[in-house]
Structure 1
Amino acid sequence: MEAYTALLTLSQILDKLQPRDRRRFFHGKDDLVESLRQKVGFLQDFLENSPSDKASNFAATESLETRISAAAYAAEDIIESHISNQLLANGNTFWHLDSFWKMIFRVQSAVSVAVHVFWTPITHLNAVSVVAQILISARRNHKWVQVIKEMDFIMKEVDKIKNACCAGEDLWKNTNILPASTKASSRLHLGMRGENLVVGFEGDLAEVRSRMVGASCNLEIVSIVGMGGIGKTTLARQVYDDNYIAYRFDIRAWVAVSQEYSLRRVLLGLLDSAKLLNADMQDKEDEELAVYLYKSLKGRRYLIVMDDMWDTEIWDVVRRSFPDDGTGSRVLLTTRISDVAEYANSCSSYHMRFLNEEDSWNLLCRKVFGEAACPLELEESGKEIARKCGGLPLSIVVIGGLLSKTSTTQEYWRSVANNLNAVVLEDDDQCLEILSLSYNHLPHHLRACFLYTGVFPEDHDIPVSKLISLWAAEGFLKPNISKSMEEVAEGYLKDLVERSLVFVSKKSSIGKIKTCKVHDLLRDLCLKNARKENFYHVVNRSADVKQDSNAWRRLSIQPVAQRSDKIYRSIHSITHARSLLCSGVAPHLPSYVHLIFRLLRVLDVVNMHFDEFPVEVTELVCLRYLAFTCDSKLPPSISKLRNLETLVHHKWKFGLRPTLLPRRILMMPKLRHLLVSASRFPDSLGPAHLLGKNFILENLQTLSEVRNFRCSKDIIKRVPNLRKLKIAYDVSVSELWQSYQLENLVNLHQLETLALHCYHIRHAVYPEKLALPLQLRELTLSGLRLPWYNLKSIGALPNLEALKLRRSACQGPEWRPMEEEFCQLKFLLLEGLSDLVQWRVDDTHFPRLQRLIIRSCYKLEEIPSCIGDISTLQLIELDDCNPSAMNSAGQIQEEQQTLGNYDLQVHLNK
């Protein structure tokens, strides 16, 4: 995997250079570098088309891959070091590097000789391995004579590699294991992917649910006990999301308590899940947070789920925040440790058992075939596979994900059955052996993406937008001329979800994956393989940094290590690092770390607070991803980061006066995602000689959240390909709305997601001229105070799928949609509409509506009963609304059930 990833990133370094810069930098020898890129591509093709689980069976091939990955990294260091040095020394101007490219010329000449003399069926491997070894030697010694000597040694190794590969070909012919990239030629229906399947635990589900709604008025603590992967979280989630449970409890909160979690994160997690968290609490002490949680829960019936409990010390503190005041509240724990359940004084403990063979087989079938039946010729092998998974649901689901993505032939299923060791699962290590089979069969292009999920903390909700940007910055995404990087990445993620290696945590209002998670056992698998392949290193303490650490390319410093200065002193020597990711809230990152890691591509320190912008960062000219928190504005020198694709600039303090982004940010042509807080986009572009008359950010897709964005035609032309835009305005008079020229938004022809917020309105003013692009799919409005009749133009948008009207987005007591409006709308949120009383609507106004969410609309009297007649409607959710509206929603559910519609869910949260 590491060899493939290294070659992919190396080829992208060459590909991403603009033709003009390549000519200037390569000093007329661009064709030589192109030849090198093509030779690297040969090896990529070999790895992509070979069985991913076979190469590791041959020591010679293993050695070859190790040398190639090291060589590719060495080539990266040589090229990017020269680029970095010249950019910093010569004002971002590429200078001619004759001596460097004379070396490249000699390398290419040697490759040509090697290809001519040693042409075999695996010549491309030989050629690239020669290049690899030459580059390694050249980098070490910078002497061509020694490179030639190294070539002689490599040539002696070629025969050994050839013989090993020939022997491997014979072995491959006698095996039924197919390449990981094989697509099933006779694919059956593949359903139920990425979902929480409950098979064999229906009785446990009924018992736990019964305990949650029992008659006791005392606070009861119920625990679910079992080993990792047995389904504790799935069972708890089924209870937590139950319609009646949601209706019965005034407050529900869920927090994951893993080995890496602190008391503070648990308290903040509970407050956030219970919708009790505000910005001021981030600065509170732990004891203050605990007291606030207690006061918020007192007198209310609450349900708390603490998932994956390990630490009894955390329980001691958190337990004091759960009042027992006769409301019939419940706390549900899941844990792997029986002693934790006993320590918590559970009134009931449910010890989850392994699935029997019948339930194991049923779960496997549902994962692979959905509602369809398993073909008879696969049953024998399939039942053996299910039995060898030892009754552990996670293993069954992951192996099912593997089977669902590959050939449905008897030979393949037999080979999987033969490669699964029959074990009785009693610990995590045995489970990892089974899970490793699915990882070993991953296509090469997915391996790096899957392993990378391990850099995030345990039980962490991973934002998909961030994950995709990091994948792109790391060079994991293979370019596709017909798709954007984001589309390629979404396909990768979907594949991992279908294989049950990644689980969907939250979806967006238009159905895209918003956040995802990795089961802690699968994360252990990621960490184990990442260490083995030297892919990245997770640092929890200074002892994790060892003598061979200088070869590390990627570092993830976890929350427990964030406040240790010793950690930063320990990583000081890791000069070849390309990625530094820091999780959790922590003090400043020492500036010397920035300077030492001068070839960084990824610097994610968004949870660190800088008082002033760390100017050392602008020296990291290879950066593609930068995320940090600083209350001061961005300096013009940020434009030195010409390779930057994602820039995230958060501000620590709330309510800061917006600062102006530098005009030179428009001189960053590779920028794709710009996420800033309390910042204004330049209103004027300055002199033509500074930016150029036609200078545009044509790659920019995300701009969020800019303040008081002036949508002049000139500015809109500079960001023509925006797909996501979030703007906040501070408007008190109508003239200001006119100056912002919102009617020009219609010219953003690629825009799919738009959020418009208005703060601090002093008068009833609203934008009279608001024109939106026709391809808009998701729209959020807040504080605009639009008259309801102004939604007519919004309702006419032909592609609008999600509409969120928040906090005084509209004003007036009555909303009466017109016919043929909102024809494609699937998601509707009404929140904080304080003066809405009547909603005049019928089922023809929202013919495709799937989810209706209403929150804090205190005056809304009822939900029209005809809403229930919308055939596509799946969910009605009311939270903190008028009791009469809550009752009307309950009546809609009753009416639909009398008509046989049991699919409609109604959630009523008091």
Structure 2
Amino acid sequence: MAESSVCFVLEKLASIFEKEVNLFRGVREEAVYLRGELERVKAFLRTADVLQETDEELKVWVRQVRDIAHEAEDVLDEFALLQEHDHDRDHGYGIYGSLRRLGCCIKNAKASYRIGSELQAINSRVKEIGEVHRRLCHKFNKADDGAGNTWQDRRGDALLLDKYDLVGLDEPKSQLVGWLLEGSSGREVVSVAGMGGMGKTTLAKQVYDDPEVKKHFKVRAWITVNRSFKFGDLLRDMVQQLFKAIRRQVPQMVTNMNNNQLKTTIKELLQKRRYLIVLDDVWNLNEWNAIKYALPNNDCGSRIMLTTRKSDVATTAAGVLSEGKAYDLKPLPLSESWDLFCRKAFQHNKCPPHLEEICNYILRKCEGLPLAIVAISGVLATKDIRRLDEWDVVARSLGAEIEGNDKLNDLKKVLSLSFNDLPYFLKSCFLYLSIFPEDHLIERMRLIRLWVAEGFIEAKEGKTLEEVGEDYLQELLNRSLMQVATTTPDGRVKTCRIHDLLREIIISKSRDQNFTTILKEQSLQWSERVRRLSIHGTLQNVHPNRSVSQLRSLFMFGVTEQPSIPRLFPSGFKLLNVLDFQNSPLEKFPVEVVDLYYLKYLSLRETKVQTVPRSIGKLKNLETLDLKHSKVKELPVEILKLHRLRHLLVYLHEFESYEHFHSKNGFKVMPNIGVLQALQKLCFVEVNQDGRTIIRELGKLNQLRRLGLLKLRKEDGEALCSSIEKLTNLCALSIASVKEDEIIDLQHLSSPPLFLQRLYMRGRLDALPYWIPMLPSLVRLSLKWSKLKDDPLIYLQHIPNLVQLELLQAFVGDRLCFRAYGFGKLKILTLDKLDELRCIEVEKGAMACLEKLTIQRCKLLENVPSGIEHLTELKVLEFSNMPVDLMKTICTDGKDNSKVLHIPELYSTYWREGGWEVYSIESMMDGEYCPLPNNPFSDELQTRWKSWK
């Protein structure tokens, strides 16, 4: 982590020198010296970040380097701020202007002298750590071989467990044994992936030792790879195991063989034999690629099984040069977690009733992670079961227990190992997750925009910073350090989360490295120089007398009090980059923020703010302005001064009823919006006034990825088509007409937007735009209030990648037919308020991948879709506000009951008094309405409907 801090300083120094900033004598020399020294220590920091876990002296040195880097960054930012203020200042003309210029020169000279003195003091400390650096390099020049991996000595315990200690492995073991014994005669790879502590090694060893597996594979070898492996030693170990397996003595020459000779020997030994090789703990594809060519594809039914924490390693290894399979090892279910917990905590006895609540809480924190359950229950086994307070202390302070209890040392190291393996830029991104409260679902785009604002994302040619951020997020998911919580129908990550125990680890690391300070009801003492402050639940623990002058980021989660920056932080924070007040009870725009020159991210989402001051034009570095679901409906013209603005989100869902056409409010935009050339997301613009002028301006925003337009008129169609043709990066387009019967005219488009993935249209269509079926990237299409006379399915059925289709009052005919082999990738289909619809036909082979079908408010539909039995992948069939007579046809003894028996989930929902009620089909018989009790699907439906509308 110190490496990232040093990198930030070096980037700022480079920027100063590149811009040829006018540095006073002394300041330049100090800056040049600082850059040189930091570049010298940077290379060692990558190793030191891992080695510090086992060496206290090194840990102190890394902390000193990090503190120096933070101080240097602050000094350089203050200097840049001084330069900017001097550049922007208007001194006027005449004698008074001359006097003001002279006064500013004197003031700047004093400030520059102070900055030069501060840099000089920093460089004095840099010299001291430079001497320590040279000594540490000498001390650790031979330590790389096993650094950070001493825990591996205990890792072998997973191979020695008794069967009685194993829980939840029967099903995965059976699956893996089947994969090994069955399949083709060619060589296949079977991968097991999961986060650290999930039990991958234990599972693989149970499969490896299975009697049927032993009988089937006469030649077997177990190879532990891990992070510190030496390729030659690994190959040599494999050769020795193989010779032993075939009952031949290992030749003495093996000791002196080079890697190529060892690989040749392995290949010769295995060439005509059916073998099983287990590669345990593979960390990256380079390790797999270095080994795989030594293992021949000998057409004998040989198998390779590997375990890894990284899902991309698992899937790639299983799919390259073989027809293999990848198994994603899941957490233990609650019942088996409880069984394992009680075995360890109570020596196979039952949990005493008075401890059940605490034990259930601790078990929820473990989230089915076997290593965590075993380790923490082992700690609890030493507690007196009569002392409720002892157990409560462990439950309330799991983070401190993991950090300080020797019995949890292995758990900490296993969970920390994945963190230590991260490159420095991903370490910053991962530690950043500590700002979010426990069990918080982290919005994907919110997180990526925050990473960008913090400067964590490294620019890559041909990609936007947000696209690089997507890669970073995917890498953390691949490494099992984050978990996908929800996805969109087309498979994009919507929200993600972090395992509770991993969160405890990174909170501890964040605190140690002064990365983030978390303030909640039972908070520890603040660090001396807070850089990121995340306030959870209450403002009562914010001490107004504390200096936060070096604060870079401020967050509030679940705060119920009215936040006031002057009252909470009277000394101010002029270097702030991020201010996130999302979902706080803020009523007025905090005018203090307009003086925050470095502010890049400002979120007032879901607040009660109504107006934005004209002074917002002073925020020249602002990249994200998020006013979504606030009460802002208009922005001042000064917003056009924010030339670095990348994301402008200003809209509000006003849900009155599910039939409401105007359910979304946007904002009025200024006619020359085209000057904001950096914009990537612009939602939602109301274009009913000066529509064509505004729409033509939008064509200048060639970086736009997502665009939302409201209150469109028919006469705006030609200008809109012209602008869409220029927006070659557009991925998502949302259009709504000014009123329900206003025609949207999009027939003037000469070339379709090839990268468009999501298209939402709300309003009347004379005909389906001809170019929609020509969109190769389209995955989601929503047509609402279109009132098409011709069957749209004829034109839409061959869109190659369409995954989700929504039709709401989109068609006025009485029959829809899904033809054979149409909609080949469609997974979700919604048919809503098709008032004339009487018949739906599904031909065999149509919608072969459909998983969810929703039919609602089609009042004349009397039967379930004809041919619904052909939809073999259908998992959910949902009827909403449909006639009771139709429901009776699929009840027990109903004429269509047999057609829907293959569908696992069948619901009938009704909108009543502002909420959803979910019914079982059987309860609808004879007009009886019995809502299902405690059905979580009801809440999910209501949330989904509101967000969808």
Fold-level match, TM-score > 0.5? yes
Partner of 2:579: 603
Partner of 1:61: 58
Distance 2:43 2:136 in 1: 18
Partner of 2:287: 185
Q: CA offset at residue 857 of structure 1?
A: 5.3
1:755-904 equivalent positions in 2, closer than 5 A: 755-758=734-737, 761=739, 763-767=741-745, 769=747, 771=749, 773-787=752-766, 789-806=767-784, 808-812=785-789, 814-818=791-795, 821-831=798-808, 837-854=814-831, 860-866=837-843, 869-878=846-855, 887-888=864-865, 891-892=868-869
Given that 2:53 and 2:148 are in contact with CA atoms closer than 8 Å, whether structure 1 keeps it comes out as no
Given that 1:600 and 1:623 are in contact with CA atoms closer than 8 Å, whether structure 2 keeps it comes out as yes
Given that 1:225 and 1:341 are in contact with CA atoms closer than 8 Å, whether structure 2 keeps it comes out as no
Given that 1:747 and 1:773 are in contact with CA atoms closer than 8 Å, whether structure 2 keeps it comes out as no
Given that 2:624 and 2:647 are in contact with CA atoms closer than 8 Å, whether structure 1 keeps it comes out as yes
- Provide closer, same or farther for how the CA distance between residues 602 and 190 of structure 1 changes in structure 2, counting only shifts above 3 A: same
Distance 1:573 1:767 in 2: 58
- Provide closer, same or farther for how the CA distance between residues 734 and 855 of structure 1 changes in structure 2, counting only shifts above 3 A: closer
Given that 2:68 and 2:126 are in contact with CA atoms closer than 8 Å, whether structure 1 keeps it comes out as no
SS in 1 for 2:672: coil
Partner of 1:664: 638
Given that 1:822 and 1:846 are in contact with CA atoms closer than 8 Å, whether structure 2 keeps it comes out as yes
Partner of 1:627: 603
Q: Give the total of aligned pairs.
A: 665
| Deviation readout 1:382-431 (Å, 9 max, x if unpaired) | xxxx8x67669999xxxxxxxxxxxxxxxxxxxxxxxxxx9xx9999985
Partner of 1:524: 504
SS in 1 for 2:453: helix
Distance 1:4 1:184 in 2: 24
- Letter aligned with residue 803 of structure 1: L
Q: CA offset at residue 25 of structure 1?
A: 5.2
Given that 1:723 and 1:751 are in contact with CA atoms closer than 8 Å, whether structure 2 keeps it comes out as yes
Partner of 1:78: 75
- Letter aligned with residue 876 of structure 1: L
- Provide closer, same or farther for how the CA distance between residues 434 and 762 of structure 1 changes in structure 2, counting only shifts above 3 A: closer
- Provide closer, same or farther for how the CA distance between residues 591 and 54 of structure 1 changes in structure 2, counting only shifts above 3 A: closer
- Provide closer, same or farther for how the CA distance between residues 103 and 491 of structure 1 changes in structure 2, counting only shifts above 3 A: farther
Partner of 2:303: none
Q: CA offset at residue 625 of structure 1?
A: 0.9
Which of residues 717, 720, 735 in structure 1 aligns to 2:702? 720
Partner of 1:685: 672
Distance 2:409 2:841 in 1: 55
Given that 1:846 and 1:870 are in contact with CA atoms closer than 8 Å, whether structure 2 keeps it comes out as yes
SS in 1 for 2:418: helix
Does residue 440 of structure 2 align to residue 453 of structure 1? no
Q: CA offset at residue 699 of structure 1?
A: 2.7
SS in 2 for 1:472: helix
| Deviation readout 1:242-293 (Å, 9 max, x if unpaired) | xxxxxxxxxxxxxxxxxxxxxxxxxxxxxxxxxxxxxxxxxxxxxxxxxxxx
Given that 1:227 and 1:427 are in contact with CA atoms closer than 8 Å, whether structure 2 keeps it comes out as no
SS in 1 for 2:451: helix
Deviates more, 1:82-91 or 1:517-526: 82-91
Partner of 1:549: 527
SS in 2 for 1:550: coil
- Provide closer, same or farther for how the CA distance between residues 815 and 77 of structure 1 changes in structure 2, counting only shifts above 3 A: same
Distance 2:684 2:556 in 1: 23
Given that 1:60 and 1:160 are in contact with CA atoms closer than 8 Å, whether structure 2 keeps it comes out as no
1:369-448 equivalent positions in 2, closer than 5 A: 431-432=411-412, 434-448=414-428
Distance 2:138 2:737 in 1: 70
| Deviation readout 1:553-593 (Å, 9 max, x if unpaired) | 1110112x14x3x52636x4222111100112534321323
Distance 2:108 2:374 in 1: 60
Partner of 1:615: 591
Partner of 1:746: 725
- Letter aligned with residue 178 of structure 1: S
Distance 1:643 1:846 in 2: 46
- Letter aligned with residue 619 of structure 2: L
Identity %: 23
Distance 2:833 2:439 in 1: 31
- Provide closer, same or farther for how the CA distance between residues 93 and 621 of structure 1 changes in structure 2, counting only shifts above 3 A: farther
Given that 1:855 and 1:878 are in contact with CA atoms closer than 8 Å, whether structure 2 keeps it comes out as yes
SS in 1 for 2:702: coil
Given that 1:538 and 1:558 are in contact with CA atoms closer than 8 Å, whether structure 2 keeps it comes out as yes
- Provide closer, same or farther for how the CA distance between residues 828 and 574 of structure 1 changes in structure 2, counting only shifts above 3 A: same
SS in 2 for 1:644: coil
- Provide closer, same or farther for how the CA distance between residues 66 and 803 of structure 1 changes in structure 2, counting only shifts above 3 A: same
- Letter aligned with residue 601 of structure 1: N
Partner of 1:576: 550
- Provide closer, same or farther for how the CA distance between residues 635 and 497 of structure 1 changes in structure 2, counting only shifts above 3 A: same
* Unmatched runs of 5 consecutive residues or more in structure 1: 107-137, 206-223, 231-335, 344-348, 365-385, 396-421, 687-694
SS in 2 for 1:637: helix
SS in 1 for 2:508: helix
Distance 1:746 1:51 in 2: 52
- Provide closer, same or farther for how the CA distance between residues 684 and 105 of structure 1 changes in structure 2, counting only shifts above 3 A: closer
- Provide closer, same or farther for how the CA distance between residues 182 and 822 of structure 1 changes in structure 2, counting only shifts above 3 A: closer
- Letter aligned with residue 632 of structure 1: Q
Given that 1:850 and 1:875 are in contact with CA atoms closer than 8 Å, whether structure 2 keeps it comes out as yes
- Provide closer, same or farther for how the CA distance between residues 738 and 595 of structure 1 changes in structure 2, counting only shifts above 3 A: farther
* Unmatched runs of 5 consecutive residues or more in structure 2: 92-100, 151-225, 230-281, 290-305, 307-312, 316-324, 344-350, 379-401, 652-664, 875-896, 910-949
SS in 2 for 1:538: strand
Structure of greater relative contact order (alpha carbons < 8 Å, 6+ residues apart): 1
- Provide closer, same or farther for how the CA distance between residues 173 and 65 of structure 1 changes in structure 2, counting only shifts above 3 A: closer
Distance 2:86 2:826 in 1: 59
- Provide closer, same or farther for how the CA distance between residues 166 and 44 of structure 1 changes in structure 2, counting only shifts above 3 A: closer
- Provide closer, same or farther for how the CA distance between residues 670 and 27 of structure 1 changes in structure 2, counting only shifts above 3 A: farther
Distance 2:435 2:666 in 1: 30
- Provide closer, same or farther for how the CA distance between residues 853 and 173 of structure 1 changes in structure 2, counting only shifts above 3 A: closer
Q: CA offset at residue 795 of structure 1?
A: 1.8
Partner of 2:654: none
Given that 2:486 and 2:495 are in contact with CA atoms closer than 8 Å, whether structure 1 keeps it comes out as yes
- Letter aligned with residue 801 of structure 2: Q
Distance 2:552 2:583 in 1: 19
Q: CA offset at residue 623 of structure 1?
A: 0.8
CA-based RMSD of the aligned residues comes to: 5.2
1:275-424 equivalent positions in 2, closer than 5 A: none
- Letter aligned with residue 8 of structure 1: C
Given that 1:225 and 1:350 are in contact with CA atoms closer than 8 Å, whether structure 2 keeps it comes out as no
Q: TM-score, normalised by structure 1?
A: 0.62
- Letter aligned with residue 186 of structure 1: W
Distance 1:463 1:194 in 2: 27
Given that 1:878 and 1:909 are in contact with CA atoms closer than 8 Å, whether structure 2 keeps it comes out as no
- Letter aligned with residue 438 of structure 2: E
Given that 1:8 and 1:478 are in contact with CA atoms closer than 8 Å, whether structure 2 keeps it comes out as no
- Letter aligned with residue 864 of structure 2: N
Given that 1:586 and 1:609 are in contact with CA atoms closer than 8 Å, whether structure 2 keeps it comes out as yes
- Provide closer, same or farther for how the CA distance between residues 460 and 171 of structure 1 changes in structure 2, counting only shifts above 3 A: closer
- Letter aligned with residue 467 of structure 1: L
- Provide closer, same or farther for how the CA distance between residues 482 and 102 of structure 1 changes in structure 2, counting only shifts above 3 A: farther
| Deviation readout 1:838-859 (Å, 9 max, x if unpaired) | 3233144423323334456576
Q: CA offset at residue 493 of structure 1?
A: 1.3
Given that 2:822 and 2:847 are in contact with CA atoms closer than 8 Å, whether structure 1 keeps it comes out as no
